[in-house]
A and B are shown apart, each in its own frame.
Chain A
């Protein structure tokens, strides 16, 4: 008997977008049913536990989805970790299976975001009243610092949007499916200098589901996708602006590792897979600069080299290691609880060789999100 292996037995997705006629529960039903079908699970009980990632769906939101499918009775736990909620749910499921607690676990994420700037109880009422609950402004400060320290320009930011929107044009589950030019991106209105509207992802709606199953040892089944690591890390004291939202009064130094770097290093150690062995990446592109920062934090390039990496074409389709072949959040939009699992669905299809923008011969994949708190998740999958 080898080490227990956690395999992805099935994946399902409800497209990301705006669906005024469908409740968040209905989005979840769609994704969960698709994942169970994909896994070929018809017997009951279908799984021994379920973890549901969501930030805005409310009390017992996961229970409502599974109640509608008559799949209750097992433990059902809703998990909130901002934009990393779905990955946090995956981490808990993966750990429980590895510990021998369960054989099969359902992980899903659901969300219906309000339109406009995300309102969050993370910000105290006084912070809202004074205008400091302006999420895009924090993104802008982070972008500004990255541009200053890595010698990036607005043209580099626009190039990220052009890349991702071109990829998204082929993704039937994306919200935005038209390619854009750099000129159009730079011509869209400035939300918070240096970020223009089209450099920011749209909060939206969607659901994603993954069935995890315990499998003993190494399988000869070549198409099987396994979870090599599912890590989540929060910020260290003194580092917040590197991530989603800074708290006043904390110094943000580059010599303090960001949550993304902490999660990535832990994932590489846990999996034994180094950054150079990754074939395809889905990373958090809540704004265009966030993707460039991820290149550095995930150690896809050296600090300060994000612009060179982008310009080299390595991260484009057909390059050595494409980043966000799905189109990223810039194309898909971001339903918080579902977005991390949407990445896992995309990468599972990549490893099965069945993605819309297939990366030839992809064997190892990495998914990354950053959420308010700050939380960062890194998931490494392989076949």
Chain B
């Protein structure tokens, strides 16, 4: 079945090595990274930026489960939601979390990037997929 990235510009289903990746911004002026990518650096406003692939592993910083569909969302509930720290990139990203039971998660838990199905598009039949982070070694969300 066809899979479509929720944001093909910065969530790559195949980063060239057959694995997914998030794309961020690297600032040539302040050397900080940010996500999602932007034409300007969110730290210093500089326009000399490059796109970079962010690391696929991090640690869980915050997590919860969303129990009622938020505005514009057509996928199932509950779903995991959180913030993951990417130490290699020096940033945190807001993300879906592949585990929707908060009791199974803990602060600082190692997590890795996975592909997560959000919903199936009724017209095309394509599966719309997002990034998510899952506990390391956890079965892929899809």
Q: Taking beta carbons and an 8 Å cutoff, which residues of A are in contact with B? A: 116-120, 123, 125-126, 128-137, 140-141, 144-145, 148, 189-194, 237-238, 241, 246-252
Contact = CB atoms under 8 A, between A and B. Distances in A.
Contacts of B25: 249
Contact of A125 (B72, B93, B130): B72
A248 B128 contact: no
Contact of A130 (B68, B73, B90, B107): B73
Given A148-B107, A237-B42, A131 B62 contact: no
Of B25, B68, B69, B70, most A-chain CB atoms within 10 Å = B70
A237 B34 CA distance: 11
B73 A250 contact: no
Majority-rule SS of A interface residues = loop
Please list the 8 inter-chain residue pairs (A to B) with the smallest Cβ-Cβ separation, ordered nearest first: A128-B72, A249-B35, A134-B70, A119-B71, A249-B34, A141-B62, A140-B64, A193-B102
B28 to A, nearest CB: 17
Contact of A241 (B35, B64, B83, B130): B83
B125 interface: no
Contacts of A131: 66, 69-70, 73, 75, 79, 81, 96, 118, 130
B65 A130 contact: no
A146 B75 CA distance: 29
A366 to B, nearest CB: 29
Contacts of B42: 237, 247, 249-250
A144 B92 CA distance: 16
Interface in B53-85: 62-75, 79, 81-83
Given A133-B70, A148-B107, A249-B24, 5 more contacts: A119-B72, A194-B64, A246-B94, A248-B93, A250-B91
Contacts of A192: 64-67, 81
A133 B43 contact: no
Contact of A117 (B68, B75, B102): B68
A189 B42 CA distance: 37
Contact of A193 (B64, B72, B90): B64
A251 B65 contact: no
B70 to A, nearest CB: 4
Nearest to B41: A237
A117 B70 contact: yes
A249 B73 contact: no
Contact of A145 (B36, B62, B70, B128): B62
Of A131, A132, A134, A237, most B-chain CB atoms within 10 Å = A131
Contacts of B130: 130-131
B6 interface: yes
Contacts of A193: 64-65, 102
Interface in B96-142: 96, 102, 107, 118, 128, 130
Given A250-B91, A250-B92, A128 B73 contact: yes
B7 interface: yes
Nearest to B94: A248
A130 B118 contact: yes
A136 B82 CA distance: 12
Contact of B83 (A125, A136, A148, A246): A246
Contacts of A247: 42, 94
A132 B68 contact: no
Contacts of A133: 70-73
Nearest to B6: A130
Given A137-B81, A148-B107, A129 B72 contact: yes
Nearest to B82: A141
A371 B18 CA distance: 42
A78 B65 CA distance: 37
Contacts of A249: 24-25, 33-36, 42, 91-93
A132 B7 contact: no
Contacts of A125: 72
A111 B57 CA distance: 44
A49 B130 CA distance: 49
A141 B64 contact: yes
B31 to A, nearest CB: 14
Contacts of B102: 193
A238 B94 CA distance: 14
A208 B112 CA distance: 49
A128 B35 contact: no
20 contacts: A116-B68, A117-B68, A117-B71, A130-B73, A130-B118, A131-B69, A133-B71, A133-B72, A134-B66, A134-B81, A137-B64, A192-B66, A192-B67, A193-B64, A237-B42, A237-B43, A247-B94, A249-B42, A250-B42, A251-B91
